[in-house]
């Protein structure tokens, strides 16, 4: 679903205390491939591990089209000092609702970066009075992602039984936690 302004023009760069979120460039493909092809990083992803850098280049083109359509916005996560993609975060908008997800190179785990980046997306989403719920899912075994979602103020709403295929684990749908946060200024 295409959104009229202000949704059509999300920030291309979000500067945070320690991080920068920015729109990806073609030159990010190698760094993205590094973490997106890591079996440990992609274990709980709902897409198969990228097998070559060309698949990342195609993904970046698709993300550019989604951004232009106003349906999904994708930023790479970088440290401002080197501007190299160390993760990614995406947010999709549909009607009055939003959903987001993130991925981070394992070299940068346990430093609070996923929480900092996710918090920025939560803040951005709730800067729009017409967006009410924000949702995210994670595999029930993905304790670290569940912790991040809780730290940024999302509440575990329940378990979606056999809901999402995690192709890097199994071809069978797996249980997932559904998290959400609803605008509280009603």
Whether 170 is covered by a domain: the verdict is yes
Kindly list the strands in the beta sheet with 72-78, ordered across the sheet, starting from the edge strand earlier in the chain: 13-15, 20-22, 72-78, 85-94, 97-104, 133-139, 173-182, 155-165
Tens digit of pLDDT for each residue in 15-64? 999 999 999 999 999 999 999 999 999 999 999 998 899 999 999 999 99
Model confidence at 104: pLDDT above 60: yes
d(Cα 149, Cα 165) in Å, to the nearest integer?
20
Whether 3 is covered by a domain: the verdict is no
d(Cα 116, Cα 18) in Å, to the nearest integer?
8
Whether 26 is covered by a domain: the verdict is yes
Q: DSSP letter for 133, please.
A: E
Place 185 in a pLDDT band, splitting at 50, 70 and 90. Answer: low
d(Cα 51, Cα 77) in Å, to the nearest integer?
21
Domain assignment of residue 108, given as a range: 13-182
Whether 5 is covered by a domain: the verdict is no
How long, in residues, is the chain?
Answer: 186
Q: Which long-range contacts (CB under 8 A, 24 or more apart) does 99-105 make?
A: 99/134, 99/135, 99/136, 100/125, 100/134, 100/136, 101/136, 101/137, 102/77, 102/145, 102/148, 103/35, 103/36, 103/41, 103/42, 103/45, 104/35, 104/41, 104/77, 105/34, 105/35, 105/38, 105/41
Model confidence at 9: pLDDT above 90: no
Instruction: Compute the average pLDDT of residues 150-158.
Output: 98
pLDDT value for 4: 46
Whether 1 is covered by a domain: the verdict is no
Flag whether the pTM goes above 0.95.
Answer: no
pLDDT value for 70: 87
pLDDT value for 184: 80
Whether 6 is covered by a domain: the verdict is no
Model confidence at 8: pLDDT above 50: no
Model confidence at 7: pLDDT above 60: no
CB-CB contact of 88 with 75 (8 Å) = yes
Number of structural domains, the chain?
1
pLDDT value for 2: 45
Tens digit of pLDDT for each residue in 65-84? 999 888 899 999 999 999 99
Whether 155 is covered by a domain: the verdict is yes
CB-CB contact of 36 with 99 (8 Å) = no
Q: What does each C-alpha distance from 181 to 6, 100, 118, 184 come to in angstroms?
A: 21, 12, 13, 9
Whether 2 is covered by a domain: the verdict is no
CB atoms within 10 A of CB 165: 15
Per cent of the chain over pLDDT 90 is 86
pLDDT value for 80: 95
Structure-model confidence comparison of residues 180 and 6, the more confident one: 180
Q: What is the mean pLDDT of the chain?
A: 93
CATH number, domain at 27? 3.40.630.30
């Amino acid at each position: 679903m295409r959104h009229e302004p202000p949704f059509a023009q999300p920030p291309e760069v979000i500067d945070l205390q320690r991080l920068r979120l920015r729109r990806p460039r073609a030159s990010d493909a190698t760094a993205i491939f590094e973490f997106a092809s890591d079996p440990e990083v992609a274990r709980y992803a709902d897409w198969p591990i990228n097998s070559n850098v060309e698949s990342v280049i195609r993904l970046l083109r698709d993300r550019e089209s989604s951004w232009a359509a106003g349906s999904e916005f994708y930023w790479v996560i970088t440290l401002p000092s080197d501007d190299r993609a160390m993760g990614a975060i995406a947010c999709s908008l549909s009607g009055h609702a939003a959903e987001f997800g993130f991925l981070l190179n394992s070299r940068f785990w346990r430093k609070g970066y996923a929480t900092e980046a996710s918090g920025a997306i939560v803040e951005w989403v709730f800067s729009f009075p017409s967006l009410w719920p924000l949702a995210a899912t994670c595999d029930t075994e993905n304790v670290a992602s569940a912790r991040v979602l809780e730290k940024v103020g999302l509440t575990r709403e329940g378990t979606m039984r056999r809901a999402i295929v995690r192709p890097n684990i199994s071809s069978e749908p797996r249980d997932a936690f559904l998290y959400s946060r609803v605008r509280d200024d009603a």
